[in-house]
Structure 1
Amino acid sequence: MTAIATEPAAALADLPSAPVTAEPVILPGLLTGLGVTKRPPIPAWITDRIPGLRDRGKHSPDVVIAKLREDIAKLLNWRAAADDFFAIQDQLITDLEGDARKLKRRAETDEQTIRQLEGVVRLRDQEIDDLKRKVDVGVKAEHVIAETQPIPVLPLGQAPFAATDPGHVPSLDATRGEAS
Structure 2
Amino acid sequence: MTVLDHIPGLRGTGAHRGKSGLELQRALADAETKVARLTAGIDQISAERNTAERRADQAAIDLGIAQEEIRQLEAAIRLRDEQIADLQRKVDVGVKAEHIIAQTQELPAVPEAAVRPVPLHEAPFATSNPARLPAWAERD
Shorter-chain TM-score range:
0.5 to 0.7
Q: Does 1:50 align with 2:12?
A: yes
Match of 1:33? none
Which residue does 2:69 correspond to in 1? 109
TM-score (norm 1): 0.48
Corresponding residue number in structure 2 for 1:97 = 57
TM-score by length of 2: 0.60
Going from structure 1 to structure 2, the CA distance change for 1:73 and 1:126 (only over 3 Å counts) comes to same
Q: Secondary structure at the match of 2:96?
A: helix
Length, aligned pairs only? 101
Moved more, 130-139 or 86-95: 130-139
Please say if 1:75 is aligned against 2:45: no
Runs of 4+ displaced beyond 3 Å:
148-151
Counterpart for residue 64 of structure 1: 24
| Residues 76, 51 of structure 1: alpha-carbon distance in 2 compared, 3 angstrom cutoff | farther
Shift of 1:49: 5.1
Q: How does 1:84-163 map to 2 (within 5 A)?
A: 84-145=44-105
User: d(CA) in 2 for partners of 1:73 and 1:51?
Assistant: 37
Q: Following TM superposition, by how much is the alpha carbon of 1:143 offset from its aligned partner in structure 2, in angstroms?
A: 3.1
CA distance in structure 1 between the partners assigned to 2:62 and 2:11 by the alignment: 75
Higher helix share: 2
The structural deviation recorded for 1:51 is 6.3
Question: Deviation per CA, 1:128-147, whole angstroms, max 9, x where unpaired?
Answer: 010111112222233334xx
Q: Which runs of 5+ in 1 are unaligned?
A: 1-46, 152-180
SS in 1 for 2:14: helix
What root-mean-square deviation, in Å, do the aligned CA atoms of Structure 1 and Structure 2 show? 2.6
